Amino acid sequence: MSYKSSLLNKINNKSAVIGIIGLGYVGLPLALTFAEKGFKVIGFDIDENKIPILSKGKSYIKHIPSSRIKYQVSRNKFEATFDFSRLTFCDCILICVPTPLNDKHEPDISFVENSAKSVAEYLRPGQLVVLESSTYPGTTEEILLPLFANAHSGQNSKNTDHRSPITDHRKKFTVGNTFFLAFSPEREDPGNKEFNTSTIPKVVGGVTHNCLKVSCALYSQAIMHVIPVSSCKVAESAKLLENIYRSVNIALVNELKIVFDKMGIDVWEVIEAAKTKPFGFHAFYPGPGLGGHCIPIDPFYLSWKAKEFGVETKFIKLAGKINTQMPYYVVQKTIELLNDNRITINGAKILILGASYKKNIDDLRESPALKLIEILQEKGAEVDYSDPFISKLPHTRKYNFELSSIPLTSSSLASYDIAILSTDHDAFNYKLITQHSKLIIDSRNVFERKGIKSSKIIKA
């Protein structure tokens, strides 16, 4: 029996053990989805603080209920560990780690590289490895493949497989034969009630035909629609296109917001009118800036890679420039409104409503609210925030605010010179905010959508 046949048998009868590296917004729901389908799942994370929380069946992500984790832990289908030597017991290994940008807006794939090195250290014959982290075209074959192909059975691996039905005496692992390698971009949308991990179609690209067949077989066990493509590079590029498409179109409406504002035209009303066309138009909406784990970051991975081929990605760069300027536009509108009311920004008391990058979740990654706080503090304002999902702002790669969420009461709202709506959480009491705030900057058009109009509210 070949390694491919053996692994396919394990996948089809659900005896395959699945390892998930990275237990964040992508890895944790993926791990639980496979566990719910009957697979034994081992989750790996370098953050040792997460392990005891998960082992107790508790969640640290707002939209993932603890009951979901507790049930899989109780039935021994899911466990978490920081002991990467246990990778050798996994038949399929899925890498779901962050791919941020460095200070120069270049790809930081250190998390991917370190994870791949851990896999290579414990790689054994017959394993499937899939990278899910968003990255530039070529990452899977240029970085992961050489590491795994040079993993020596019994030498580079610290722990060999004693369950495998095959004995291998070759010096190097052969992709598509001894081990299998693929790329399948994550498509998680935290807080989306319409789609979840199992219902979002899964694009998969393999290094070889055998790699594609094995990886598609695995994902088909847990995900309703699996879309095979011809290569890892196509799968890597598809993820970038999805987010570049959104970045460029959001930049367009953000720019139009500024233009129409100068003309005395409401951009939100324009969009509502335009989207009545039943074909050829898809509505995108402006905001205080881009946030999340994909749209502010992924486009620059392609820009960086394109330089190798002497190509300049003008649309991507322009969209990035426009979107990163939006927090400054919101601050400028804030300064103008304060000036109209004889208040200077230096010393003004300002309340940011919403800290997460989008509504109804606790995800702070690349949130424009954090940039707003930074800019306002630099201008001398006293800044607080209120968010029902984030009780305290944690330290991040970029920011180190010592701030805790302010409860929204009539007295607390009245104590600030101005409130800036950054994230339109459904949990906010918008009538209370309108009644007791002195001035309001609305960057999401939420008050009008709620049917609330007041002369103290200015859109930005």
The pLDDT-based confidence of 398 (bands split at 50, 70, 90) is confident
Give the integer Cα–Cα distance in Å for 420 and 335: 11
Backbone angles phi, psi at 213, to 5 degrees: -65, -45
Q: How many residues does the chain have?
A: 460
The stretch 143-166 carries a mean pLDDT of: 62
What is the pLDDT of the chain when averaged over all its residues?
Answer: 94
Q: Is the pLDDT of residue 164 over 80?
A: no
383 secondary structure, DSSP code: E
Q: What CA–CA distance (Å, rounded) separates 221 from 230?
A: 21
Torsion sign (Cα): 257, 429, 336, 367: negative
- CA 164 to each of CA 142, 178, 434: distance values in angstroms, whole numbers, following the listed order: 28, 11, 66
Q: What type of residue is 390?
A: I
Express as a percent the part of the chain with pLDDT over 70: 96
Domains of the chain: 3-230 (3.40.50.720), 246-256+264-459 (3.40.50.720)
Tokens of 120: 């290579």
Phi/psi of residue 80, each to 5°?
A: -120, 145
Average pLDDT over residues 242-255: 96
80-99 average pLDDT score: 97
Residue 432 main-chain phi, psi, to 5 deg: -60, -45
- 71-81 pLDDT per residue, tens: 999 999 999 99
Residue reference for tokens 């960086």: 304
- Has residue 418 got a pLDDT over 70? yes
Segment 226-238 mean pLDDT: 98
Q: What pLDDT is recorded for position 192? A: 87
Q: Find out whether 138 and 112 touch, Cβ atoms under 8 Å.
A: no
Each residue's pLDDT tens digit, 24-56? 999 999 999 999 999 999 999 999 999 999 999
Picking from 60, 55, 63, the residue whose alpha carbon sits closest to that of residue 82 is: 55
Query: What pLDDT, on the 0 to 100 scale, is given for residue 244?
Result: 96
Q: Where are the alpha helices (DSSP H) in 221-291?
A: 232-262, 267-274
pLDDT for position 108: 94
Rounded to whole angstroms, the Cα distance separating 260 from 258 reads 6
Comparing CA positions, the residue from 283, 289, 216 lying closest to residue 251 is 289
- Per-residue pLDDT for 166 more than 90? no
364-375 pLDDT, tens digit per residue, is 999 999 999 999
Confidence of residue 152 (pLDDT cuts 50, 70, 90): low
Confidence at residue 400, expressed as pLDDT on a 0 to 100 scale:
92
Quick check: 23 and 45 in contact, CB under 8 A?
yes
Distance between CA 80 and CA 98 in Å, rounded? 18
Check pLDDT > 70 for residue 159. Answer: no
Q: What is the pTM of this model?
A: 0.91
3-state secondary structure 435-446: HHCCCEEECCCH
Residue 244 token pair: 């570049």
Rounded to an integer, what distance in angstroms lies between the CA atom of residue 358 and that of residue 362?
Answer: 9
pLDDT at 161: 46
3-state secondary structure 100-166: CECCCCCECCHHHHHHHHHHHHHCCCCCEEEECCCCCCCHHHHHHHHHHHCCCCCCCCCCCCCCCCC
**pLDDT value of position 232:** 98
* Residues belonging to the active site: 294
